[in-house]
Amino acid sequence: MKHRKVKRVAIALEVEWGFKRHLETYAGCQRYADEAGWECSITPSMASLLKTKGGTPSFDGILARATVPLAVAAKRMNVPLVNLWMNTPVRSLPSVFPDFKASGQMAAEHLLSRGFRRFGYLGFLRDKDAVLQLSGFRNRLKEDDLRCEPFRFLRDGATTTAKGWTTLIEGMEKWVTSLRPPTGIFVVNDLYCRYLIDVCRAQGLTIPQELGIVGCSNETTICSSPAPTLTSIDMNFEQVGYRAAALLDQIMKGSKPPKLPNLVTLKGLIPRQSTDSYAADNPVVSRALRFISENSHMPIKVTDVANKTGINRRSLERQFNESLQKSIAGEITRLRLARAKRHLVESNAPLKTVAKDCGFRNTDHMHKVFSRVEGTTPSQYRRQRGT
């Protein structure tokens, strides 16, 4: 048999940043490479590394956040390159991206389902992915004749210089002050959600009762702590990497590069505490929602909520139903189940511990409520999600 040459592929994705979006994209690239039998190297985005001392290409193909020097060198040396960076200044590269416009639509749908009717967007001014996010967000809101008040800023220098940081925080403070709670906010990525929450806390605003927040990328470490945990959209970055490697394989085999970017379907929205509560303009209902959100992990009852809001139970239940079209008991149960589902998926804690931490009387109580509402048992729910 004739020996088949092993393809050598460079992967330049800035994995040293440590963000999930880079590491998962790399994992997807490597998964395809293993299946294809490639020899891969994690390589900085340096054009000088693409050739040997003899001037011949070191690699048969490149998967990269394509910088201008890298793209120019790859073209000059006739080495196929697939781009994974939407904001690259290089045009007309074969590319694979998450569907950022769909992320805006998804965030809007979620915040609408939580009862919000006022909205904001926090994101970069010129970045193409942020422009698409805002477009998708606004378009979905327009379907319900609703608007979005954005705060957009230049990425360059925002967090790398003292002046840039001061300008960002002062601008964010002014923008947050202009918002009328309750407002649902979509944020360009999870790290900026944390900056926003710090600003909100300094102004005495509560999350999610006054501002509900949806992030993007589902950076697990950033989302999971500290409280409130962040609702975020999983952009399916591993599949982005896998699809990019598959596209590179086709091009290396002689296929013509596509003219349009390949967009990957999002994995989904992961709800957490930052959008746990429903929005309400009624101040009494808003106080009740805040108390429920902060105490649903305790064995509270409807009478406890009424006592905390300072009005009688019947009046509170009537206002609650008129404002949200749901019952107080139903909202307590919803939050307990949401907390339980997160615990079941994100930890290996025994069911007894999960039940106690989520406000259920005991494991049997959790089992009955979970089965009635979700149509499956807590154990089955955990197994289905691989924990």
Residue spans of the domains in the chain: they are: 8-98+238-264, 100-235+270-275, 283-384
Q: Which residues have a Cβ under 8 Å from the Cβ of 335 and sit 6 or more positions away? A: 276, 277, 292, 293, 296
What are 300-314's pLDDT values in tens digits?
999 999 999 889 999
Rounded to 5 degrees, what are φ and ψ at 235? Answer: -85, 0
pLDDT at 327 over 60: yes
Size of the chain, expressed as the number of residues it contains: 387
State the CB neighbour count (10 A cutoff) for residue 308.
Answer: 17
Question: In the numeric block, which tokens belong to residue 54?
Answer: 């003899």
Rounded to 5 degrees, what are φ and ψ at 229? Answer: -65, 155
Percent pLDDT > 90 in the chain is 73
For residues 213 and 207, the answer to whether their CB atoms sit within 8 Å is yes
For residues 115 and 324, the answer to whether their CB atoms sit within 8 Å is yes
Give me the chain's average pLDDT, please.
92
pLDDT at 387 over 50: no
Place of tokens 């926003």: 196
In degrees, rounded to 5, the angle at the alpha carbon of residue 169 between the alpha carbons of residues 166 and 175 is 135
Q: Which residues have a Cβ under 8 Å from the Cβ of 166 and sit 6 or more positions away? A: none
Cβ burial of 166 (10 Å; 0-12, 13-18, 19+) is exposed
What are 93-137's pLDDT values in tens digits?
999 999 999 999 999 999 998 889 999 999 999 999 999 999 999
**215 HSE (CA, 13 A, CB side):** 27
- State the CATH architecture for 8-98+238-264: 3-Layer(aba) Sandwich (3.40)
Answer whether CATH 3.20.10.10 is correct for domain 100-235+270-275. Answer: no
Model confidence at 2, in pLDDT bands (50, 70, 90)?
very low
Domains 8-98+238-264 and 100-235+270-275 share a fold: yes
Model confidence at 148, in pLDDT bands (50, 70, 90)?
very high
What are 209-226's pLDDT values in tens digits?
899 999 999 999 999 989
Cα–Cα distance measured from residue 328 to residue 231, given in angstroms and rounded to the nearest whole number? 23
Best CA proximity match to 280, nearest among 147, 116, 146, 120:
116
pLDDT at 293 over 70: yes
User: In whole angstroms, what separates CA 284 from the centre of its chain?
Assistant: 32
Q: What pLDDT shows up at residue 3?
A: 46
Question: In the numeric block, which tokens belong to residue 264?
Answer: 């990957």
Could you please state the CATH topology (level 3) that the domain comprising 283-384 is classified under: Arc Repressor Mutant, subunit A (1.10.10)
